[in-house]
Amino acid sequence: MNNNEAKFLLCAYRPGGRDADDPAFAGALAQARQDPALGAWFAREQSFDTAMAAQLGSIAPPPGLREAILTGARVSRAPQAARRWPVWLALAASVALLLGAGAMWRMRSAKQMDPLTAFILHDAQFEKHGGHGEAVSDLERVLENPTTRLASGLPVDFSKLRTTGCRTLSFAGHDVLEVCFGRGGSEFHIYMARSADFPQIASTTGPRIMKQAGWSAMQWADAQHVYVVASSADPAALRALL
């Protein structure tokens, strides 16, 4: 396990040590104890989460908010003028929804998609990219060709890409390759792993598109490889690649 993998897992670790006995976090916690930089990052994260939880716990919704929301739902078919909420009530409801979304973001991101895709979306957004080598350049040219349909098969020589300069990540002890390319004015990041290393994902039928925090990921597989394309472009731009 490297520090990126550990950070991804520890982002879902609740403050106060409530997950200390959860085996899912054992490896990441051990990594944080051994690596001073990771340990300092984790301490800052826990302090922030503790402060955020305290602030959220101190917020009391306005009296009657629940009843007002339910009443608004019951009269949703009434004329517009007859069902306007007071400005303060609308603001209170908005604040409550935003705070709830912020508090639950990390847990939802871990539960709504498989861990590999969640890891890839994080990497695509926040990590440095770049690779080199003839094999990478050849694949980039294929990917940037507007006539190339990604799901029809790509000329991927996994071993050659990895050994000649392709950006290589490690997830769950397995190599994942990444190549950046442009198409139609948008930037995309394609991640490739061996199907044998991720059999559960490889067995999924058909392409899947997932969206999170303004980014989208499209996942599919063939007999040899699992592919995930990540981009801040609209999901329709990802579908067009297929």
Q: Which of 30-44, 71-85, 225-239 has the highest mean pLDDT?
A: 225-239
pLDDT, residue 65, reads 67
What pLDDT is recorded for position 141? Answer: 96
Which carries the bigger pLDDT value, residue 165 or residue 214? 165
Mean pLDDT within 50-67: 67
Q: Is residue 176 pLDDT above 70, yes or no? A: yes
* Range from 61-70, 79-88, 174-183, 233-242 carrying the lowest mean pLDDT: 79-88
Rounded to whole angstroms, the Cα distance separating 139 from 154 reads 8
pLDDT at residue 240, as a whole number: 92
pTM, two decimals, is 0.57
Q: Which of 36-45, 73-82, 210-219 has the lowest mean pLDDT?
A: 73-82
- 153-to-9, 142, 150, 222 alpha-carbon distances in Å: 33, 11, 6, 8
Mean pLDDT of the chain: 80
pLDDT average, residue stretch 81-90: 50
Does 98 have pLDDT greater than 60?
no
Average pLDDT over residues 65-94: 56
Q: Given this model, what pLDDT does residue 108 score?
A: 39
Position 115 confidence tier, pLDDT thresholds 50, 70, 90? confident
Residue 57 has pLDDT above 80, yes or no: no
Continuous H helices in the chain: 3-10, 26-34, 36-57, 65-74, 87-111, 115-126, 134-144, 158-163, 199-202, 235-241
pLDDT at res. 111: 41
Q: What is the pLDDT at residue 197? A: 93
Q: What is the pLDDT of residue 201?
A: 86
230, 211 Cβ separation under 8 angstroms? no
> What single letter denotes the amino acid at residue 211?
K
Sign of CA dihedral 40, 167, 159, 205: positive
- With 70 as the cut, is the pLDDT of residue 210 above it? yes
Name the residue type at position 147.
Answer: T
Of the chain, the percentage scoring pLDDT greater than 70 comes to 73
